[in-house]
């Protein structure tokens, strides 16, 4: 697997494909090792890097459903996944994630949801995945600090304005202490770990 991960890292670098960066990766792996999720929903497959990291460091018989909009990326991800022994444990569903979340079996609860897709959609993804989250499940969201703009007083460049606004919304939602506990790791581009509070 080490050789495959290296191959994927090189591919991502050469082809400018965003994968979880080196600083954020260690935190991500530590969280996966700690929680050992069995059923995982991933929003944003890219080239399958985080899916393979999750399955490699997670529970032995874990299953991952990964949602990807871009057909070329989904094909590339499948090619990489097929080189591993985990190919039967990862299912890629092509199409719009927001739509496809709604088509998933409501009785199938996920131990972990990893959000790493269109940043402007994070609040919407959160609302849609909550009914699918197991009681003690976790939500991980990458890039929530988005290049430092999210927590900065400075105005973001115009092209990032909506993304920054929506990520601030997302952070506000998961920071509601009546519903969630959230920890934001600043390594990398900001990885938010959210747990839902148990209701009596």
Q: Could you read off the pLDDT of 11-43 as tens digits, one per residue? A: 999 999 989 888 889 999 999 999 999 999 999
Determine the Cα–Cα distance for residues 16 and 10; give it in Å rounded to an integer: 10
Give the closest residue to 53 by CA, choosing from 91, 4, 96, 101.
4
Over the chain, what is the mean pLDDT?
94
H or E segment to which residue 28 belongs? helix 22-35
Mean pLDDT of 171-199: 92
Q: What is the largest CA-CA distance in the chain?
A: 51
CA 171/CA 143 separation, integer angstroms: 11
**pLDDT of 111-161, one tens digit each?**
999 999 999 999 999 999 999 999 999 999 999 999 888 988 888 899 999
Quick one: tokens of 50? Answer: 């985080």
Say which residue, 99 or 200, is predicted with more confidence: 99
Shortest CA distance to 50 belongs to which of 129, 96, 103, 115? Answer: 115
| Contact (CB, 8 A) for 112 and 137 | yes
């Amino acid at each position: 697997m080490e050789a495959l991960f290296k191959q994927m890292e090189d591919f991502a670098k050469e082809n400018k494909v965003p994968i979880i960066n080196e600083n954020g990766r260690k935190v991500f792996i530590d969280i996966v090792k700690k929680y050992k999720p069995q059923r995982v929903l991933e929003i944003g497959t890219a080239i399958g890097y985080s899916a393979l990291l999750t399955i490699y460091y997670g529970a032995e018989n874990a299953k991952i459903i990964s949602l990807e909009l871009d057909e070329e990326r989904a094909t590339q991800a499948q090619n990489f996944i097929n080189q591993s022994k985990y190919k039967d444990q990862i299912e890629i569903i092509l199409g719009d994630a927001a739509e496809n979340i709604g088509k998933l079996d409501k009785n199938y609860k996920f131990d972990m949801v990893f959000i790493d897709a269109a940043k402007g959609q994070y609040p919407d993804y959160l609302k849609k995945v909550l009914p699918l989250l197991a009681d003690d499940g976790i939500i991980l969201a990458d890039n929530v600090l988005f290049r430092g703009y999210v927590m900065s007083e400075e105005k973001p460049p115009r092209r990032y304005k909506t993304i920054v606004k929506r990520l601030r919304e997302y952070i506000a939602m998961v920071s509601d202490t009546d519903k969630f506990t959230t920890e934001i790791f600043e390594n990398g581009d900001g990885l938010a770990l959210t747990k839902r509070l148990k209701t009596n």
